[in-house]
């Protein structure tokens, strides 16, 4: 007897410390339900929160960063030279974006830090990138408006923020099987996907990078990919390190909506929709911008609670038909002892 399978909704998180995946899933669904209410889709809220509309998953990989940090002597503040160089590049581009904001015009402290971060001023040699990074992170937290905007209280906060994308983009930290950290992270997302049924994928911050690279080789149907607060288009170090090259919409994606808040300090000014190539069906990211005027607008639940984000997710899930589960073939009984077989098939019994 055949059964039906609901569509899937998969959330892929971004930066941050340890999480409890079940609690995070509830929180993200609750935020999305708030966005559905704001979009006048209150009738679908129960279907979402009770998993009637879709089977929901939270692709958690934060503990893998903890494992990578445990391999270093000093945790996130003790990156290797290549990782430290990546963090410096990410930090430099972030400050460049901040310098372009009207409220930072004439910010002399910001200008001084940017000058010190320039590639020509970075020292070379073993361990020097890490020391330079520490000095720059210490300087950044003293820049008016920037530290308050990002909620950085110390140099460790700055380095912790950028160490995770650096470790992911480093493509290192191999385990005993030779699998790199980024491969192990994408494997966590793949565990939440099911090629037998359509899946809506929502990736936040670094999670948008992870989702993009995971779906590049995925063959199941993805009617909607949503990226929120995405740094994919960050030119300095994220964009050139994306895989595969050149970056293009994954072939499995039918529609891609890229949401960014104009007040989000993580989203670069260079927009994703202008950089990513279309897939074979002509699908490209569709830009969706709004301005929240919030002090901290980068949070995943902040995005999900907006009507603009929740409406296409809810409408897409509601319109998806349930997939039919194909029953597994019945097990073939083992041949009786002494039965002759040919290529694994029992020889016919005389008289049958």
DSSP-assigned letters across all residues of 321-333:
PPEEEPPPPPPPP
Residue 241, CB-side half-sphere exposure with 13 Å CA sphere: 20
Amino acid 330: pLDDT: 53
Amino acid 185: pLDDT: 97
Q: Tokens representing 199?
A: 């899946």
Q: Tokens representing 170?
A: 């480093």
Sketch the domain layout of the chain as residue ranges. 3-65+179-321, 76-170
Which CATH superfamily includes the segment(s) 3-65+179-321?
A: Alpha/Beta hydrolase fold, catalytic domain (3.40.50.1820)
CA dihedral over 233, 206, 191, 175, signed as positive or negative? positive
d(CA 207, CA 212): 8
d(CA 111, CA 35): 39
User: Are 95 and 50 a contacting pair, CB within 8 Å?
Assistant: no
d(CA 151, CA 155): 11
d(CA 78, CA 134): 10
pTM: 0.82
Amino acid 17: pLDDT: 74
Amino acid 24: pLDDT: 96
Q: What is the DSSP letter of 277?
A: B
For 127, phi and psi rounded to 5 degrees? 80, -15
Exposed e or buried b for every residue in 82-117, given b needs 16+ CB within 10 A?
ebbbbbbbbbbbbbbbbeebeebeebeebeebbeeb
Amino acid 342: pLDDT: 38
Amino acid 210: pLDDT: 98
Could you list the pLDDT tens digit for every one of the 352 residues in the chain?
455 789 999 999 998 778 899 999 999 999 999 999 999 999 889 999 999 999 999 999 999 987 766 555 444 456 788 888 888 888 887 888 788 778 788 888 888 888 887 655 444 444 677 888 888 888 888 887 777 767 777 888 888 778 888 899 999 989 999 999 999 999 999 999 999 999 999 999 999 999 999 999 999 999 999 999 998 988 777 889 999 999 999 999 999 999 988 777 778 766 788 899 999 999 999 999 888 766 667 889 999 999 999 999 999 999 998 665 555 455 555 544 444 433 333 333 333 3
The alpha-carbon radius of gyration of the chain (Å, integer) is 24
Count of residues for the chain? Answer: 352
Three-point CA angle 107, 260, 266, nearest 5°: 45
Determine the angle formed by the axes of helices 128-140 and 155-170, rounding to 10 degrees: 130
d(CA 219, CA 201): 14
């Amino acid at each position: 007897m055949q059964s039906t399978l609901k569509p899937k909704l998969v959330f892929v998180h971004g930066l941050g410390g340890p999480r409890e995946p079940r609690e995070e899933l509830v929180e993200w669904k609750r935020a999305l339900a708030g966005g559905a209410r704001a979009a006048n889709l209150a009738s679908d809220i129960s279907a979402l929160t009770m998993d009637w509309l879709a089977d929901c998953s939270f692709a958690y990989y934060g503990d893998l960063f903890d494992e990578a940090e445990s391999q270093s002597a000093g945790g996130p503040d003790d990156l290797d030279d290549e990782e430290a160089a990546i963090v410096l590049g990410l930090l430099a581009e972030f400050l460049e974006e901040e310098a372009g904001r009207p409220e930072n015009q004439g910010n002399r402290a910001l200008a001084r830090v940017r000058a010190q971060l320039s590639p020509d001023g970075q020292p070379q040699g073993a361990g020097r990138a890490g020391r330079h990074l520490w000095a720059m992170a210490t300087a950044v937290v003293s820049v008016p408006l920037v530290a308050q905007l990002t909620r950085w209280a110390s140099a460790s906060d700055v380095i912790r923020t950028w160490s995770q994308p650096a470790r992911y983009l480093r493509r290192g930290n191999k385990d005993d099987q030779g699998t790199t950290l980024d491969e192990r992270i994408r494997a966590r997302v793949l565990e939440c996907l099911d090629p037998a049924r359509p899946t809506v994928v929502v990736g936040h911050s670094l999670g948008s990078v992870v989702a993009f690279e995971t779906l590049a080789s995925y063959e199941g149907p993805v009617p909607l990919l949503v990226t929120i607060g995405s740094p994919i288009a960050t030119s300095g170090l994220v964009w050139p390190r994306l895989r595969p090259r050149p970056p293009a919409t994954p072939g499995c994606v039918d529609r891609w909506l890229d949401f960014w808040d104009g007040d989000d300090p993580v989203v670069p000014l260079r927009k994703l929709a202008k950089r990513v190539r279309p897939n074979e069906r002509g699908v490209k990211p569709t830009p969706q911008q709004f301005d929240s005027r919030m002090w901290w607008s980068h949070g995943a639940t902040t995005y999900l609670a907006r009507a603009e984000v929740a409406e296409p997710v809810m409408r897409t899930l509601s319109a998806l038909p349930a997939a039919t589960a194909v029953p597994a073939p019945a097990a073939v009984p083992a041949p009786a002892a002494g039965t002759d077989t040919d290529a694994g098939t029992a020889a016919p019994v005389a008289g049958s």
